[in-house]
Structure 1
């Protein structure tokens, strides 16, 4: 997605001289094209993410449209107070690009794993939070949010080639996208690039007689409440899938929607539910370890189906489970 975002950002900068880019000493082989095209609108502020957000806040106050670029955890956790007190409290158009959500920087270790960013950023009122599922949707998301009057957080993956089947790059602010329609009453809801594994899990399950629907949530805030209600209308089980902590992210958002609207479906959260344990490895290895590969997601859905109470049982109403 990084390449798609930077190509789109260059197009926007060609059309709007207010667009500037700041990086926290990261993004090499990605940001150079912007730096060459606009050398007077690009700054490497060094390993100083708090300063980067502070500088971007001042530039936004002065009338610019600043984009900041760093790894997801460094873009959100390290400068969190600066994000809150600056662009959020002052409603300024700072765009925070956080790359490598989940385990995408797997071998770099837990300091580089973006597992809490969605939770902390969606807690800030007025901050638009978007986590595209593939590079096509990322480009559409940038075009759909770049000129909003308030701040935006874009959680980006590194893959510039793979796409989510059925998504076709669709994005709309405050909306979710259904990419697969099933007949069984189980709905998978996925956030970010892990949606590819969710779709693959649904296809695997269909071969086993469990035909699931799949909805992709890219816009976390504002939440796609109406689309989620529509997706859950006839569902008995909703399984959320995210390369993120099960606390505060998509699973929490879906649970809030189900609880606040009195829906009768059960919510099962599929995500990261433990902290660092000294075991490291690649993104794919860590996804498998946390049940976020297609086989692991399928096992979670099958486990939920096996535990589903008989129709009419009170145990089936408003239950939230974590796997």
Structure 2
């Protein structure tokens, strides 16, 4: 009988990695807004000047992160996605981008990990919003084992990095790379699975002659990897992202500017809101990203 292995959540791996970095890198400062602050209670006793909780003052937290960055520190900033990106967006724009300094922003909650909290805790527009600002690297890990390598690299650098954690994860990790990993080859088209959407995509395409690409880093977008995949298949591109539908469509179009192609996007609705809250799986079905809905839509598109 095989013993069942208990998996860590992405948020736990994030906290463990930051705690390691606090000990090994004197530049690192950890900023929280109540959310997940309990992970850092013990280490705060050791580094009281580098572990700070701002309560629900997210705008101030981002501006102070910019101040730390200007002073040569490496701020890691964390809370729920809508409170990290949407609420303090002006501070991100001015305090980080306009000052041309870096920080590592790490969110939880994703688009609808726990719909019972309602719309206030849902952040499907986060990546699209950051797309209006230059110079951001965006990581969307699909498994807890992908979090550590991505986060350690982000902390060691000095750029602007957004890491979007989810409470939902794929069954198996994919080795971390800077671009797309080819998981399956086919001829009818290319399906791009971003982060925690991979399991749904693999199940949906099990009987479809498609190339499946996976990435845990969506910005910068791997133009060369997509072009290589399209060279071996029809230029029918399906984009399955765990946030706002069509967020990366413009990147697909830029990658294939000189290649006649078609794009079908999946994600959270752009044109209307979901005003009833069930489970995360209910929302998958509502938005058409459950395996059965994806399989039917992709088949129609390829045919």
TM-score, length basis structure 1 = 0.84
The 8 Å contact of residues 104 and 154 in structure 2, kept in 1 or not, is answered as: no
The 8 Å contact of residues 224 and 255 in structure 2, kept in 1 or not, is answered as: no
Instruction: Measure how far apart 1:35 and its partner are.
Output: 3.6
Instruction: Measure how far apart 1:115 and its partner are.
Output: 0.9
- Counterparts of 1:79 and 1:184 in 2: how far apart (Å)? 44
1:61 aligns with 2:57: no
Alignment match, 1:232: 230
Instruction: Measure how far apart 1:241 and its partner are.
Output: 0.4
Matches within 5 A, 1:135-284: 135-159=144-168, 162-163=169-170, 165=172, 167-172=173-178, 175-178=179-182, 180-203=183-206, 206=207, 210-236=208-234, 237-247=236-246, 249-258=247-256, 260=257, 262-273=258-269, 274-284=271-281
TM-score, length basis structure 2 = 0.89
Partner SS for 1:157: coil
Matches within 5 A, 1:112-127: 112-127=121-136
For 1:286, which of 279, 283, 286 is the aligned residue?
283
Partner SS for 2:209: coil
The 8 Å contact of residues 232 and 265 in structure 1, kept in 2 or not, is answered as: no
The 8 Å contact of residues 24 and 47 in structure 1, kept in 2 or not, is answered as: yes
RMSD: 1.9
- Counterparts of 1:92 and 1:151 in 2: how far apart (Å)? 7
- Counterparts of 2:38 and 2:298 in 1: how far apart (Å)? 39
Alignment match, 1:99: 108
- In structure 2, the CA distance between the partners of 1:148 and 1:183, relative to structure 1 (3 Å rule), is same
Gaps of 5+ in 2: 1-9
Instruction: Measure how far apart 1:114 and its partner are.
Output: 1.6
Q: Deviations over 1:226-276 (max 9, x none)?
A: 1121122223221110122224x2333223322x2x222321111222432
- Counterparts of 1:12 and 1:28 in 2: how far apart (Å)? 16
Partner SS for 1:146: helix
Alignment match, 1:133: 142
